Structures are given as structure tokens and as C-alpha cells.
Amino acid sequence: MTRRRWIADEGSGDTAALVGEHAAHLARVLRAEVGQQFDIATGAGVRLGTIISISDDRVEFALGLSREVKATPQVTLALAIFKFDRMEWAIEKCTEIGVARIIPVIARRSDAHLAGAAVKRLERWRRIVHQAAEQSRRSAPPEIASLVKLKDLAGVLPAGTRIVLAESEEKTRLGEVLQFRPGEIALAVGPEGGWADDERAWFRESGWLAASLGLTILRAETAAIVATALAIETLQ
């Protein structure tokens, strides 16, 4: 049976701990007991953890053998702001798939009220990716970066291949663009309605490659998930 994995809130030497609501879920909801074992991810890797003490707001582990951890493909998703419930579903699923970093982008067609409220959602999004990372047995959650406007996106991206999804069947398919492109990949997914004309021009002038996901027009959250899955499969 595969052990459940937890991402430690605290860690030092051969001990680690979950605290607050994180610990309460394990202690109260899952009714953990002293002596139970889980995989515990710390900043130094993943180790076998044995519970040595439990309270409502703190669960402590003694750390044992190290567990093998595969390297995470370096895929950054630049995701334009759109309706929060669907955007958060995309964030959760892209985390499960293995995205390394998510950058929320204020696009011209992002709803102004959503764009204004998005900064207050950052902590919620970070909780979502933390929970999704544990559920999918990742050793760390992806980074949720601060919001940026599209014109400032280039300044916060790592070096590597940059691909913008285009709603055109005439564009080269994403799978073909990804071939033979090792290293880090950045994907840009627009809001509902797609990127505006001046934004598409910005991508062209900035050297981004344009790629299509096929003959049908996908909703933003579907496009983000499909594109992330294709990119990670290519890098693995």
C-alpha cells in the first residue's frame, strides 16, 4: 500500500512537524495515532516519518530512511485571470499533473473585478496547491507567483522555451512545438475570449512560439490542463 505523503510545516535534523489546521486534519479527521508512518517531505527531501506525538494543533514525526524522489519537470504556467471557480480547478489539476510554477496574469480580457480581487486570492491558491501536492504525492507544491500584467511577464520568467496557446487550427500543434526542446518550458494560456490583438502582437515581438491544441476551441481551464500535461510528458 502506498503511504500518504505530507509536506512538513517545520523540520530540523531528524524531526518534522505539521502545525495548525494541517495538523488538525491528520489528528482529528484521519484519527492518526502515535507510531503510524507516513512519507514526510521537507526542504531537504522525503523521508519515512513515524508519529511520536499528537495534539489538536501539532503532529510531530521522527524521520528515518530517505525516499527516492524523481526530479520535477520545469514547466511554468502563465495563466490569465478568469472566473475563479474554473481557474482554481485548473490550478489544482495542473498541480496534480506536476507544474512547477503558476504565474497569474492580468490580461486585457480579464474581468476587471476579478483582476482586482485576485491579489486577495493568492493565499487561497497557495493552500489549494499545497493540498493538491500532498494528495498527488509531490515533494513540494508549485510556486504561486504574485500577479503580473502581461507586459511585465517576461521579467519574471526563467530562461527556456516560451509558448503561447493560439486559438487557430492553422498554428503548429503544441506537441510538435514541444519536440526536441529540453530544459524549462513556459506556457501562456489566455482568458475566455483569448488574447487581444495587441497581446498577440506582444507575444510575437517577444519571441514566443505560437501553438494550437487542435481543431476545437477549449475553455481556458481545459487548455491549461491539456497543455501542462503535454509539456510535462515531453520533459519526463
pLDDT, tens digit, for every residue of 24-42?
888 888 898 999 999 999 9
Q: Which residue has the higher pLDDT, 159 or 104?
A: 104
Give the model's pLDDT for residue 169: 57
User: What is the residue-wise DSSP string for 167-224?
Assistant: S-TTSPBHHHHHTT--S-EEEEE--TT---HHHHHHHHHTTPEEEB--SSPPPHHHHH
Q: Which residue has the higher pLDDT, 86 or 154?
A: 86
136, pLDDT greater than 80: yes
230, pLDDT greater than 60: yes
CATH of domain 5-67: 2.40.240.20
24 touches 56 (CB < 8 A): yes
**Block residue for cell numbers 504561486:** 144
**All 3 cell numbers of residue 73?**
519537470
60 touches 53 (CB < 8 A): yes
43, pLDDT greater than 90: no
Amino acid code (one letter) for 73: P
Predicted TM-score (pTM) of this structure: 0.88
38 touches 46 (CB < 8 A): no
| Pairwise CA distance, residues 203 & 107, whole Å | 12
Give 113-123 pLDDT, tens digit per residue.
Answer: 999 999 999 99
Give the model's pLDDT for residue 228: 96
In the three-class reduction of DSSP (H, G, I as helix; E, B as strand; rest coil), residue 68 is classed as coil
Give CATH superfamily name and number for 75-235.
SPOUT methyltransferase, trefoil knot domain (3.40.1280.10)
Give 152-184 pLDDT, tens digit per residue.
Answer: 998 898 888 899 998 765 678 888 888 877 778
Q: What percent of the chain is modeled with pLDDT above 90?
A: 66
| Pairwise CA distance, residues 128 & 28, whole Å | 20
CATH 3.40.1280.10 range(s) for the chain read 75-235
Report which listed range, 3-7, 170-174, 189-193, is most confident. Answer: 189-193
- How far CA 184 is from CA of 2, 178, 234, in Å, comes to 30, 11, 11
Which residues, 6 or more positions from 129, have their beta carbon under 8 angstroms from its beta carbon?
Answer: 91, 92, 95, 102, 141, 142, 144
CATH 2.40.240.20 range(s) for the chain read 5-67
133 touches 142 (CB < 8 A): yes
Give the model's pLDDT for residue 120: 94
140, pLDDT greater than 60: yes
60, pLDDT greater than 80: yes
